[in-house]
Amino acid sequence: MKKKITKIGVLTSGGDSPGMNAAIRAVVRTGIYHGMEVYGINRGYSGMVDGDIHRLEGRSVANIIQRGGTFLKTSRCAEFFTKEGRKTAYDNLKKHGIEGLVIIGGDGSFRGAQIFSNEYDIPCIGLPGTIDKDIAGTDFTIGFDTAVNTAVEAIDKIRDTADAHDRLFIIEVMGRDAGYIALHSGISTGAEHILIPEKKTSVEDLIASLKEKERRKKLVNMIVVAEGEDFGGADELAKHIKKEMPHQELRVCILGHIQRGGSPSCFDRVIASRMGYHAVECLMEERFNVFIGIVNNKMHYTPLDEAVKKKQRISEEWLKIVKILAT
């Protein structure tokens, strides 16, 4: 029978996302409620390697649930992906007696957790903290709702200007190689075209559609582009359009990192709190090396080794909806 876990660590890794602080808060307070010692690891895996680890109390996480970013900081750590780096990280955890970890991040963070746990038998629980919503096994990731609402608010404002000047706007949103932010923000703002990496885009067909709309005197067009598009994103698309339609009034707007920041939405605060709570419960119940998602509003547990192999895919139904509504 395994010894009951009494000391746990929590860290945030990879890109920041709104709601990470809410998840940390839930982990800390749930752990303390169950009599555990909870340690914060600064700057993700870099903090594990450097020994930047400190104990957290209930008051340590007061007044952070409404804050964007992560108060534990985050980074990407190449050293952790070496055997020497992981050995140093393990030794630093042992100095504090840490017996289990909660990792809040994306698929790269989970990959690191899986390797580390296999080598050193440290149980790990992953929470999906990424605005991209590209992890299979959960309907939503921490930060996606806030990011997509930030994009929607920005696109709504841009449409006012586009309408006032009869202009074509190309708006690039984040998402790495996933098109969920583009898909959701494009549908909810009535974009005329939504370009996502999951569906091959014919620039020639797009330009033909724009010319046909021009003949119909539809002069205001919003094109929402995911940054992972293989033709190079908004700037490259603009070059193609200007070459074929030199008379077209066209502007490019790249929303960039404003989508990552800001106060998390109510939805992100709630799912992050639920996931943080269940992360501690998993460690107590010896349900180890899983990532916690929410599917159909119920907690869903995916083994880490499966989570790092799968990507969240956009269904054909979504693509059909885009085709019909964006005409």
Q: What is the pLDDT of residues 120-140, one digit of tens each?
A: 989 999 999 999 999 989 999
pLDDT the model gives residue 177: 84
Q: Is residue 312 part of a domain?
A: no
Tally of domains within the chain: 2
Residue 126 annotated as binding?
no
Q: Is residue 318 part of a domain?
A: no
Report the mean per-residue pLDDT for the chain.
Answer: 92
Task: Note whether 163 and 206 are same-domain residues.
Answer: yes
Lowest mean pLDDT among 42-51, 202-211, 282-291: 202-211
Task: Note whether 247 and 280 are same-domain residues.
Answer: no
Task: Note whether 272 and 126 are same-domain residues.
Answer: yes
Task: Note whether 14 and 138 are same-domain residues.
Answer: yes
pLDDT the model gives residue 85: 96
Tell me the average pLDDT across 243-264. Answer: 93
- Say if strands 193-195 and 221-226 run parallel, antiparallel, or are unpaired: parallel
Residue 136 annotated as binding?
no
Tell me the β-bridge partners of 291.
126, 302
Task: Note whether 113 and 196 are same-domain residues.
Answer: no
Task: Note whether 139 and 278 are same-domain residues.
Answer: yes
Domain containing 230 equals 145-260
- 234: helix, strand or coil: helix
Q: Give the residue, 92 or 212, on which the prediction is more confident.
A: 92
Task: Note whether 139 and 18 are same-domain residues.
Answer: yes
Residue 191 annotated as binding?
yes
Task: Note whether 12 and 138 are same-domain residues.
Answer: yes
Return the CATH number at 111.
3.40.50.450
Task: Note whether 28 and 135 are same-domain residues.
Answer: yes
Q: Is residue 321 part of a domain?
A: no
Residue 23 annotated as binding?
no
Count CB-CB contacts under 10 A for residue 275: 30
Q: What is the pLDDT of residues 37-86, one digit of tens each?
A: 999 999 999 999 999 999 999 999 999 999 999 999 998 888 998 999 99
Residue 258 annotated as binding?
yes
Residue positions annotated with a catalytic role: 132
Q: What is the pLDDT of residues 87-118, one digit of tens each?
A: 999 999 999 999 999 999 998 899 999 999 99
Task: Note whether 130 and 223 are same-domain residues.
Answer: no
Task: Note whether 177 and 253 are same-domain residues.
Answer: yes
Residue 190 annotated as binding?
yes
Sheet holding 100-105, edge to edge: 53-56, 37-41, 7-12, 100-105, 124-128, 290-295, 298-303
Q: Is residue 277 part of a domain?
A: yes
Question: How far from the centroid of its chain's Cα atoms is residue 289's Cα?
Answer: 20
In this prediction the pTM is 0.93
